[in-house]
Amino acid sequence: MFIKFLDHDLRYGIGRAKKRLIVTFIMFFFLSIYHFWTLRIFELTDPQYLESPVTTADYFLALIGGCGKVNLISGAENDFVMPTMWFVFVLWMQFTSLYYPFAELNGIGKQLMVLSGSRGNWWLSKCVWTIINTITNYLIVFAASTIAGLCFGAKPSMQANWYVSRELYMKVDDLTSSTTWNIWSVFLMTGFTMIVLALVQLILSLILKPVQSYFVLAGYLFAGAYIQNPVFFGNYAMGARNALLVSTGLTMPFGILLGIWLAVLSIGIGYFVFQYRDILGSDLS
């Protein structure tokens, strides 16, 4: 029964959402191109940055890197620059998995649940759908930035050059390398964080309704952009705050443990709440 639910979700929630997937690709392809613009400036101001070849990893890191740690000192110049590009990325990723589960529930989902006689399978199927949908969208973002890089002459590689740190407002003294970083682990950690946040959004949607949950999650993510702390889990999706890149960054093992705990908690609480909540008589849109 679970497989049938999942098959239905994948077909309708991803297979028939081609328009959304195309929009994701176009959006992030064009956002990635801005890195090329910045490189043209660096050619004039700091040509030494470009001594080693520009890679596709530079494009990807510039897109999803966020911003370095902010020093919150009263009476000092505010050095915080809003990582708007990163917000477009995370809020879009959350948006892509926001409405399908509950739109389906208010449509055919209720009938399917009654016919199958299993609420648990419905919920677990939506959790797995959320994970697969997030991975799909994340891979599209990665493909978009990689293709944008290749179009502008970048070398296909996951070795990101250190000069990207300037674009991400990272402090030079804190960098762990003065040449390159292999960003495979940053790539995986960012994807993992997106999955966990999508699952948290799913349980919040069940408790608060999807519209309100998006507001709460957006506020949580904005607070995290200002405060570098594991409590604000969105920090793990910022390459610029990863311990691989900066000595003051957040370590991945703890992030993975915290993420697994959050994901299991979200799925578990959702499973429990879903069993006892009046789903059939309420409007969760």
Which residues of this protein are in contact with another protein, per CB under 8 A? 27, 30-31, 34, 37-38, 41, 45, 72-82, 84-85, 87-88, 91-92, 95, 98-99, 103, 208, 210-212, 214-216, 218-219, 222-223, 225-227, 285
Contact indicator for 175, 162 with CB cutoff of 8 Å: yes
**3 state DSSP class of 182:** strand
What's the closest the beta carbon of residue 88 comes to another protein, in angstroms?
5
CB of 253 to another protein, least distance (A): 27
User: From CA 200, how far away is CA 232, in angstroms rounded?
Assistant: 12
In whole angstroms, the minimum distance from the beta carbon of 72 to another protein comes to 6
Contact of 21 with 137, CB cutoff 8 Å: yes
Smallest distance, another protein to C-beta of residue 99, A: 4
Strand partners, 179: none
Amino acid identity for residue 274 in this structure: F
Instruction: Pick between residue 135 and residue 218 the one whose CB is nearest to another protein.
Output: 218
Helix H or strand E segment including 51: none
CB of 22 to another protein, least distance (A): 15
Q: What minimum distance in Å lies between the beta carbon of 285 and another protein?
A: 6
CA–CA dist 108, 6 (Å, integer): 14
C-beta closer to another protein: residue 78 or 178: 78
| Least gap, CB of 181 to another protein (angstroms) | 22
Q: Please say which residue, 83 or 249, places its beta carbon nearer to another protein.
A: 83
Distance CA 59, CA 131 (A): 25
Q: Which residues pair with 155 in a beta bridge?
A: 55
Q: Are strands 180-182 and 159-161 parallel, antiparallel or unpaired?
A: antiparallel
**DSSP letter string, 114-177:** HHHT-HHHHHHHHHHHHHHHHHHHHHHHHHHHHHHHHHTT-B--SEEETTHHHHTT--GGGBS-
Q: What token pair was written down for 30? A: 């064009």
* Number of Cβ within a 10 Å radius of residue 23: 14
Instruction: Between 108 and 227, name the residue whose CB sits nearer to another protein.
Output: 227
Nearer to another protein, 104 or 244 (CB): 104
Run of H or E residues at 68: none
User: What minimum distance in Å lies between the beta carbon of 260 and another protein?
Assistant: 27
